[in-house]
Amino acid sequence: MTDTTKQHDDGGPWMPHYDDVEHKIVPGMSTLDYFAGQALAGMMVGSVGTIGNSKDVSAYAKGHCNHVIADRAYVIAANMIAEKRRREGADDAN
């Protein structure tokens, strides 16, 4: 059985903002989610040249490989956060 409670570094909140209705700071999405969305957008734009026109990309995104595309986007995002942490640590050492 897989332990789904394993903690991971989501990079913290991305663009926290003040909610005028609730009168408090709300975190917004995680940095991991933001980076994954950016990676996904890049993959889909990059796939136009290899798949064909934008209609082909739409069909591709609805196919059986959706989970593979999403997984790749999150792997890229997690690696981006790990690299960010590594660089922050390198900055602290200087």
The pLDDT tens digits of the residues spanning 22-60 come to 899 998 899 999 999 999 998 877 665 554 555 555 555
Q: Number of helices (H) and strands (E), helices first, in the chain? A: 3, 2
H or E stretch covering 19: strand 17-19
Q: Which of 47, 50, 49 lies closest to 61, judged by CA? A: 47
What average pLDDT is seen over the chain? 80
Task: Note the pTM of the prediction, 2 decimals.
Answer: 0.67
Quote the distance between the C-alpha of residue 60 and its chain's center: 20
CA-wise closest residue to 62 among 44, 83, 35: 44
- Give the chain's largest Cα–Cα span: 50
